[in-house]
Amino acid sequence: MTDILCPTCGRPNSENHSSCDFCGGPLGSEDITSVQNSSLRDDLFSNENPNEPLEPRESMDEASRLDSLFSPDPPPLDSQKEPGDQPPESLNDVSRLDDLIPAPESTEALPEEEIQTGESLDDSSLRDDILGSDDPLQEPKPQNHFPLDNLFPDDISAPELPSQDPLPDSPPEDDQLQEKSSMETPGEDWDFLTEPSSSSGLPQENSPAEEPQGDWDFLTPDPSSEETPPQDLDDPIPDFGSPGFSEDSGWLDMLQDPETREELASETSSDIKKEKNQTDWLDKIKRLDKSTEHVDEDSSFPDWLSVSEKPAEEPEPEPTPEPVPEIQPEPASSDLPAWLQMDGDDESLNEFLRRKDLTNEEYKPKINKEPTGELVTLEDDDEPAADLSDSQHIKFPSWAGNESKKEEIPEDLQFLAGYDPDSPPPDGVDALQIEEEEYFDDLFNEELPDWLTSASSEGVIKPTSEALSQGDLPGWVEAMRPVVESSDLAEEEDYMENYGPLAGIPSVLPAEAEIALDLEKAAKKPLDLITSKSNQEYVNLLKKLIGEENKAKTILRPAPVQTQRVLRWLIAIIMLVTTAGTVIFGGNIETEPPTQAQIQNTGYGALYDQIEKLYDSQPVLIAFDYQPAAAGELHAAAAGVVDHLMEQGTYLSFVSTQPTGPALAENFLETTQEAHRYQHTQQYINLGYLPGESAGLLSFVIAPKKIIPLAFDGSNAWGSPPLVNVDSINDFEMILVITDDPDIAKIWIEQVGTILDDTPLTMVVSAQVEPLIQPYFRSSPQLLSGYVSGIIDSMIYEQILGRPNLATETWLPFNLGIVIAVGTIFIGGLANGVLSIFSRHRSKLIGDTK
Amino acid sequence: MNIKIKSPISTAIAIGVGIVVLAGYFIPSMNDIRFILLRTGLVLSAVALLVGIINLLTVHIKKLGAENANSGYSLILVIALLVTLVVGIIDMVQTYLVGQPNFQMTNWVFTYIQMPIETSLLAVTTVSLIYAAASILRKRMDVFSITFFFVILLVLLGSFSIPPATLPFLHVIRDWILRVPALGGARGLLLGIALGTITTGIRILLGTDRPYSD
């Protein structure tokens, strides 16, 4: 009676058990993971022949394709025993397992059934994924290595499997016939995987007693295993007969113990056993992925393959009553029958393959987080094989490492990482790759021929993780630790100033630079300064300027401006003497009256015409809007005009927007019009001061009686007969503004002149205002009806009037003053100009001399 | 609690009054409202003059003291102001009591004190202007200075009109200068003043300029 190793926990069980006594898992059940893993290996080792038809391959079971990789050219045992015979010429990188795939030429020598089987085993699509091209020597493209995803999508369902995996129901005695039929119809090889429940009809918990014990007989060197009766045909677990395994799996037969292999070879294996043998080696692979304790219990491995030093004859451990830990099934496999559920070994192997795959995000952080720990664990597992050669330490082929490295990024996201699927794989090998290489070399290093193992050992990078002990960080990592920075900060904070005003104060910035200059070194440095002539001149100039800083300068006292003061006094004396003399001793100058042509288009001529239109008792408004300082000029200028108005017998109304205006009006009448003897309220009315400037003036224009109800002396301003009918500014016959301010003249023109209808607005202004009121006089419509500017126009006006007045009296001193002013300006200006020229010339000469 | 309501109220008053007065130029029915506002402004201006006089008196009274070196001038100003005020009040009282305008004392002060002083100041200005014109070429001799210098001479000589020495062409030159360059410059100046006045008025109406605020 042979023991059956539990695929879940690896512990032996009696052959009449369908489930494991230890973990409760099904015995010998082929789960989905095994198929998955085998399919992966098919992907990895598939040999493509472009001339082969694809249909048989597609019908082939996924799990058997891995065996088919080696079946087309199963190395004979002799050849395996004599490695190094004729290595393939096309082998570039012998460390890659894809190089193990025999060349197409070698498949020609195989039997036809074998070739057909191999062809049928190949899945063309998956094969393309691995090889990537028709060229068997071409390296597989990394982007196509996702066999697990391709084989087991989430929506995988059990009904799909029976069509591919017909469960062999023939008795074991018909192994040869079954084998032949399986070769002819390869799609039926794995019926036991697809229809486990229908064929066996036993659920997982009900079938342990019917588990075939011969499935694991080659793993148990117990001689009793040879006497294992034929397996129950209803057993879903195929019999892993050695002959069948050796025939299908080729060089993987080397995994078996020679003795066991011979014993198994003597047994007639049925097709079912053959199918089971095809997956038998996968169980071994799965066990390699188990934890250490599981591996120790797996005594069916040969010494060279065993990962523990426990002898195979070690007594079986007593079954523990512990509850079997439940394995969380995969969501995709939850619907699978019990015999397809993953056991512990499958879970471990699946986990390993998922690491390779990295499509599951759960494994990715684990690998990244604890790479070192895993490496250490692997080393511990490999301790029994420590005496192996260096080539045997090569755990993972480089191409697999590259694949695993590339598969760290999911295929869907590789484009985001800038990964070019067509680009060749990088040459670098990371620690994870080496780790996985160790797994695979445990599997294949013994089967490799010597020529292959020796060649592969040359191009393999020794795992650097062996040199590292756990917890020891490299020096550069130590240097990067932030602890160093914090200690530096602490030192800076503890710094205390030793001198200066901050002496004794901690945590201050040092007064001196921490990195002081090496003065000796700096002094030895030669000065390569090359100065030009201009640079030297600048240096000399700088030295001169610095040197003159210490010298006291004598500041020359400027010469007093006596000449200017004398000139000023001279001008004043001349003006006073001449004007005073002419006023005192002078007289009137007889002048010729202007012609009619000279009067036309002049301001004084227009004013004269306007006054000539007035007659007796017509109200005339006169505004005294000038300062007392301008009284000398404006009194003389307005005297002839006002005299003309009085001559016309008009009723004069005085108003002023200046506070001093009413007084000036009274003074004007007393000084210039005394001959007329105008009486207040009888011939004239002094309305007084009109406040508000433009606003007051505008108000006065609208309603003069309301704005100024009383006269300057408090009497009724509008009670006089000429003013009784005056209700607005337009009721005045003429408006005469006497001003020396251009702004006041402008306000009168803009605020009053625009409102007036037929009432003329005239002005007597200072000579300085004339340029500003000329535009209003010479514009159309004419806002200013006439004006007299200064003494000159007034004197002409008096001449026109024929009544000499104040302007005529001041004409001679005025002209003398002009002559003196012109003479002074001309002489003084000429002298100053000449002096200025000489001064500049002399300064230029002095500058040139210096 | 300091609530600043002065600025918004004054701004609202200024804008409202400005809009009403401006609208009075175009809408005859608003003349009455405009006149009321203008008359109110007239009264306020007169009051402002009194307030200014009181403020002047107060300031100079505060300056009276031994510490201030110029306190003498302030004393003269205060005395002159009070004397003139008293003279004016006496004349007003006399006028209202007698019923006959009598401003003799006020006219005397104005004629013999205020007018000579202001006229003398203007005469000093004349001497200063002559001196400045004479020294202009000394300080800066360039094209503009020389032009300014000779224009002054031509205008003054053109104003000279003593028959024996009268030069007719100087009168023509003077008239040309006054009617062409001076007139053109004055027009441009007036246009600029008008545009500035309009802009200022709009800014005040919009509340951008607040000359009445602090």
Q: Could you report the per-residue pLDDT of A409-435, keeping only the tens digit for each?
A: 555 555 555 555 555 554 444 444 545
8 A C-beta contact, residue A7 and residue A344:
yes
Cβ separation A818–B31 shorter than 8 A: no
Residues of A whose CB is below 8 A from B121: 629
Per-residue pLDDT at A490 exceeds 70: no
| pLDDT tens, residue by residue, A454-469 | 555 555 555 555 555 5
pLDDT band at A528 (very low <50, low <70, confident <90, very high): low
Q: Does B149 touch chain A (CB under 8 A)?
A: yes
Cross-strand partners of A619: A651
Residue A273 φ/ψ, nearest 5 degrees: -60, -35
Q: Residue A549: its pLDDT value, please?
A: 81
Q: Residue A842: its pLDDT value, please?
A: 83
CA distance A693 to chain B (A): 8
CA distance A509 to chain B (A): 48
Q: What are the start-end ranges of the E strands in A497-639? A: 619-625
pLDDT band at A625 (very low <50, low <70, confident <90, very high): very high
Burial B93-114 (b: 16+ CB within 10 A, else e): ebbeeeeebbbebbeebbbeeb
Cβ separation A826–B153 shorter than 8 A: yes
Per-residue pLDDT at A762 exceeds 90: yes
CA distance A844 to chain B (A): 16
pLDDT band at A201 (very low <50, low <70, confident <90, very high): very low
Per DSSP, A5 falls in state: E
What's the per-residue H, E or C state across A272-285? HHHHHHHHHHHHHH
Per DSSP, A219 falls in state: G
| pLDDT tens, residue by residue, A34-83 | 444 444 444 444 444 444 444 444 444 444 444 444 444 444 444 444 44
**Inter-chain CB pairs, A–B, below 8 Å:** 179
Maximum distance among all alpha carbons in chain B? 81
DSSP string spanning B99-127? SS---HHHHHHIIIIIHHHHHHHHHHHHH
Please state, rounded to an integer, the average pLDDT across all residues of chain B.
Answer: 84
- Say which residue, A832 or A497, is predicted with more confidence: A832
Q: Residue B192: its pLDDT value, please?
A: 92
Among the ranges given (A160-174, A762-776, B170-184), the one the predictor scored with the smallest mean pLDDT: A160-174
Q: Does B105 touch chain A (CB under 8 A)?
A: no
Residues of B whose CB is below 8 A from A590: 163
CA distance A644 to chain B (A): 23
* Residue of B39, B51, B200, B212 best to disrupt the A interface, most CBs of A under 10 A: B39
Cβ separation A825–B103 shorter than 8 A: no
Q: Residue A414: its pLDDT value, please?
A: 58
Residue A12 φ/ψ, nearest 5 degrees: -75, 145
What's the CA gap between A634 and B126, in Å, rounded? 16
Q: Does B183 touch chain A (CB under 8 A)?
A: yes
Cβ separation A629–B149 shorter than 8 A: no
Cβ separation B42–A707 shorter than 8 A: yes
Q: Residue A106: its pLDDT value, please?
A: 40
* pTM for the structure as a whole: 0.49
Residues of B whose CB is below 8 A from A819: 160
Q: Does B190 touch chain A (CB under 8 A)?
A: yes
What's the CA gap between A263 and A474, in Å, rounded? 53
CA distance B56 to chain A (A): 16
Per-range mean pLDDT, top range of A114-128, A148-162, A326-340, A683-697: A683-697
Cβ separation B137–A836 shorter than 8 A: yes
Task: Name the strand (E) or helix (H) holding A688.
Answer: strand A684-689
Residues found in chain A: 850
Per-residue pLDDT at B37 exceeds 90: no
* Residue of A787, A816, A826 best to disrupt the B interface, most CBs of B under 10 A: A826
For chain A, give the percent of residues with pLDDT over 70: 41
Q: Taking CA atoms, what residue in A is nearest to B111?
A: A667
| Site of tokens 């926990």 | A9
Token pair for A475:
């020096």
What's the CA gap between A845 and B165, in Å, rounded? 45
Segment A231-249 shows an average pLDDT of: 43
Token pair for A183:
């070769």
Q: Is A11 helix (H, G, I), strand (E, B) or coil?
A: coil
Per-residue pLDDT at A268 exceeds 90: no
Q: Taking CA atoms, what residue in B is nearest to A711?
A: B101
| pLDDT tens, residue by residue, A94-103 | 344 444 444 4
Per-residue pLDDT at A825 exceeds 80: yes
Cβ separation B186–A836 shorter than 8 A: no
Q: Residue A348: its pLDDT value, please?
A: 64
Token pair for A312:
């195979």
Q: HSE of B203 in the Cβ direction (CA atoms, 13 Å)?
A: 11
Q: Residue A3: its pLDDT value, please?
A: 64
Segment A391-413 shows an average pLDDT of: 49
CA distance B127 to chain A (A): 6
Q: Does A692 touch chain B (CB under 8 A)?
A: yes
Residues of A whose CB is below 8 A from B131: 567-568, 571, 824, 828
- Other CB atoms within a 10 A radius of the CB of residue A424 amount to 10
Cross-strand partners of A622: A654, A736
Per-range mean pLDDT, top range of A84-93, A135-144, A273-282, A322-331: A273-282
Per-residue pLDDT at B194 exceeds 80: yes
pLDDT band at A843 (very low <50, low <70, confident <90, very high): confident
Q: Does A774 touch chain B (CB under 8 A)?
A: yes
Per-range mean pLDDT, top range of A401-405, A410-414, B149-153: B149-153
Q: Residue A667: its pLDDT value, please?
A: 86
pLDDT band at A366 (very low <50, low <70, confident <90, very high): very low
For chain B, give the percent of residues with pLDDT over 70: 93
Please state, rounded to an integer, the average pLDDT across all residues of chain A.
Answer: 63
Q: Does A542 touch chain B (CB under 8 A)?
A: no
Segment A111-120 shows an average pLDDT of: 42
Q: HSE of A456 in the Cβ direction (CA atoms, 13 Å)?
A: 33
Report how many helices (DSSP H) and strands (DSSP E) chain B contains, helices first: 9, 0
pLDDT band at A653 (very low <50, low <70, confident <90, very high): very high
Per-residue pLDDT at B176 exceeds 70: yes
Residues of A whose CB is below 8 A from B156: 818, 821-822, 825
Cβ separation A663–B178 shorter than 8 A: no
8 A C-beta contact, residue B66 and residue B48:
no
What's the CA gap between A52 and A115, in Å, rounded? 9
Q: Taking CA atoms, what residue in B is nearest to A820?
A: B130
CA distance B4 to chain A (A): 29
Helices (H), B64-167: 71-98, 104-109, 115-134, 136-139, 143-159
| pLDDT tens, residue by residue, A660-696 | 888 889 888 888 888 888 887 788 888 888 888 888 8
Residues of B whose CB is below 8 A from A714: 92, 95-96
Q: HSE of A352 in the Cβ direction (CA atoms, 13 Å)?
A: 28
CA distance B46 to chain A (A): 6
8 A C-beta contact, residue B130 and residue A648:
no
Per-residue pLDDT at A788 exceeds 90: yes
Per-residue pLDDT at A737 exceeds 80: yes
Q: Residue A340: its pLDDT value, please?
A: 55
Cβ separation B42–A695 shorter than 8 A: yes
Cβ separation A632–B122 shorter than 8 A: yes
DSSP string spanning A370-384? -HHHHHHHHHHHTGG
pLDDT band at A442 (very low <50, low <70, confident <90, very high): low
Per-range mean pLDDT, top range of A528-542, A582-596, A638-652: A638-652
Per DSSP, A146 falls in state: -
Q: Residue A59: its pLDDT value, please?
A: 41
From the list B38, B114, B189, which residue is nearest A695 (CB)? B38
- Say which residue, A15 or A359, is predicted with more confidence: A15
pLDDT band at A560 (very low <50, low <70, confident <90, very high): low
pLDDT band at A12 (very low <50, low <70, confident <90, very high): confident
Q: Residue A105: its pLDDT value, please?
A: 42
Q: Residue A382: its pLDDT value, please?
A: 43
Cβ separation A825–B130 shorter than 8 A: yes
Q: Residue B167: its pLDDT value, please?
A: 77
Q: Residue A831: its pLDDT value, please?
A: 86
Cβ separation B193–A663 shorter than 8 A: no
8 A C-beta contact, residue A778 and residue A558:
no
- Integer angstrom CA distances of residue B136 from A825, A836, B129: 9, 10, 10
Cβ separation A825–B110 shorter than 8 A: no
Window B:14-73, CB contacts with A under 8 Å = 31, 34-35, 38-39, 41-43, 45-46, 49
Residues of A whose CB is below 8 A from B159: 792, 815, 818
pLDDT band at B79 (very low <50, low <70, confident <90, very high): very high
| pLDDT tens, residue by residue, A134-190 | 444 444 444 444 444 444 444 443 344 434 444 444 444 444 444 444 444 444 444
- Say which residue, A374 or A549, is predicted with more confidence: A549
What's the CA gap between A402 and A813, in Å, rounded? 120
Among the ranges given (A197-201, A591-595, A792-796), the one the predictor scored with the smallest mean pLDDT: A197-201
Query: For chain A, first and last CA: distance in Å?
Result: 132
- Integer angstrom CA distances of residue A570 from A565, A643, A818: 8, 39, 16
What's the CA gap between B90 and A827, in Å, rounded? 54
8 A C-beta contact, residue A574 and residue A775:
no
Per DSSP, A748 falls in state: I
Cross-strand partners of A736: A622, A762
Window A:614-673, CB contacts with B under 8 Å = 627-632, 659-660, 663-664, 666-667, 670
Segment A306-310 shows an average pLDDT of: 45
Residues of A whose CB is below 8 A from B190: 746, 772, 775
